Chain A
Amino acid sequence: MKTILTGDQLALTIKRLSHQILENNSDLSEVCIIGIQPRGVWLSERIAQEIRSLRPETSLQYGILDITFYRDDVRNSLPVANQTDIPFSVENKKVIIIDDVLYTGRTIRAALDALIDFGRPRKVELCVLIDRRFSRELPIQPDYSGKAIDSIVSQRVKVYWKENHGKDEVVLL
């Protein structure tokens, strides 16, 4: 087991990602942030919170999206579906999809399909905490990346969140 990010580093990374999102999007009214269920939501909640504290005068459009029914392997594993809550229209908006770990890219492929069923966004960007580079099975790359790591197939990246696991940490198993 190897620590990729400690609690302090994770906090700094989230701050940086939030600032980068703001840097690229001065007008937040045209932006919506959507966390991918289940594990991307821990990260998206933190980023949304950070952005709200940096821009308290604007209301951030924030939603969560479950992609279970859009997975290309759905019939093999029948994962339990989680809640989807997108209480606004994504039509013509700039959507930033947030997930914790980008690996094969298949989850994001499913997320794009799911998102399009809610309308036609003007632009979609991807923000991830950990980018397991060189392991993609689809042509998908992040626009905002917390940390890029090199890993092999047998390894697993595990992200712990204080709200759920009692500590903030990212490790490679």
Chain B
Amino acid sequence: MRLSTKHLLGIRELSPQDIQLILDTATQFKEVLQRPIKKVPSLRDVTIVNLFYESSTRTRISFELAEKRLSADTINFTASGSSVSKGETLLDTVNNILSMKVDMVVMRHSASGAPHFLAKHIPAAIVNAGDGINEHPTQALLDAFSIRENLGSLEGKKIAIIGDIMHSRVALSNIYLLKKMGAEVTVAGPPTLIPKHMAEAFDLRVEYDLRKALEWCDVANVLRIQLERQNQVLFSSLREYNLAYGVKRSMLDSLGKKILVMHPGPINRGVELDSDVADSGQSLILQQVENGVAVRMAVLYLLAGREVQPTTI
């Protein structure tokens, strides 16, 4: 079975069947990661370059581990300390790397659409590890995997995405994925951080009152306030944001039901999420990180298929 696409540029390009296949394959890889030898030889003839033009901890380590667990060879590239500072273009850099016989490119870039641009110009398979404010598909897949693991399925589940919806590629990928898989979505946050016409564009609910969003949902996916992308003042202070939209223990306890709390990391403790929520039993945060490796293994495995006619057995 193959994915309907050659690259993973975003959830937007995937079909529900593709998403199902990735999540099902990830289940098997999660079992592999529990074994005494947490490694399979599937991609031992594949070389993958991790091209990170933007800083990252979780995603980069997670991709690198996933590649190593599949026995692929890996090269790590970070923009700082490379010829990018000498003015080499993205396409030149990638073409130079590919001429050394690299099969796949995992890339993160601050410009939205950078992986789409590369996909048009180079023959290797491309995995988007986050592009600007567009998409972060593997994060959405691992969020979906974590929800499925805890609630059984995505269909009909109520997911609230809370915080900086405007600048968040995690939010956009999650919205695409959850809608494709039949979940109900509410986005919540201050009006200045939620784009206009969101509800009509994606057929979802918009909520400006955090309490109402939490009362409605089964899962709260709390996003990071992206201080590096705020070039204008969209809320008055971090403290005020925390008072109005920070998820707090007292509020969760007063809901009368136990919702699950997720966060893509890194957490701004005491801003969007208080520590006694982030470190509680309701939080799936570390489970998300664990599942990230299995989900990325599934994505890389499914994109590494060779273009040949399958032989009959």
Contact = CB atoms under 8 A, between A and B. Distances in A.
Given A76-B310, A77-B310, A81-B25, A113 B305 contact: no
B31 A79 contact: no
Contact of A69 (B36, B40, B45, B305): B40
B41 interface: yes
A74 interface: yes
Secondary structure at the A interface, as helix, strand, loop or mixed, is loop
A117 B37 contact: yes
Contacts of B1: 78-80
Contacts of B306: 75-76
A66 B28 contact: yes
A82 interface: yes
B41 A70 contact: yes
B181 to A, nearest CB: 19
A77 B21 CA distance: 14
A119 B41 contact: no
Contacts of B35: 117-118
B311 A76 contact: yes
Contacts, number: 63
Interface in B2-58: 2, 21, 24-25, 27-29, 31-32, 35-37, 39-43, 45-46
B304 interface: yes
A114 B313 CA distance: 20
A78 B237 CA distance: 51
B17 to A, nearest CB: 12
Given A81-B28, A82-B28, A75 B36 contact: no
B100 interface: no
Contacts of B63: none
B41 A69 contact: yes
B311 A73 contact: yes
B299 to A, nearest CB: 12
A112 B21 CA distance: 27
Contacts of A59: none
Contacts of A70: 40-42
B301 interface: yes
A69 B294 CA distance: 13
Nearest to A66: B28
Contacts of B305: 75-78
Contacts of A118: 35-37
Contacts of A77: 305, 310-311
A78 B302 contact: yes
A84 interface: yes
B89 to A, nearest CB: 31
Contacts of A73: 311
A69 B38 CA distance: 12
B308 interface: yes
A83 interface: yes
Contacts of B28: 66, 68-69, 81-84
A118 to B, nearest CB: 6
B28, B39, B70, B304: residue with the most chain A Cβ atoms closer than 10 Å: B28
Given A69-B40, A69-B41, A83 B31 contact: yes
B36 A113 contact: no
A76 B305 CA distance: 6
Interface in A63-121: 66, 68-70, 73-84, 103, 113-114, 116-119
26 contacts: A69-B28, A69-B40, A69-B41, A69-B42, A70-B40, A70-B41, A70-B42, A73-B311, A75-B42, A75-B45, A75-B304, A75-B305, A76-B310, A77-B305, A77-B310, A77-B311, A78-B1, A79-B1, A80-B21, A80-B25, A84-B31, A113-B41, A114-B40, A117-B36, A118-B37, A119-B36
Report the 8 A-B pairs with minimum CB-CB distance, sorted nearest first.
A69-B40, A81-B28, A117-B37, A77-B310, A69-B42, A78-B305, A75-B306, A80-B1
Given A69-B70, A78-B2, A79-B1, 11 more contacts: A68-B28, A69-B301, A75-B42, A76-B305, A76-B308, A76-B311, A78-B301, A80-B21, A114-B40, A117-B37, A118-B35
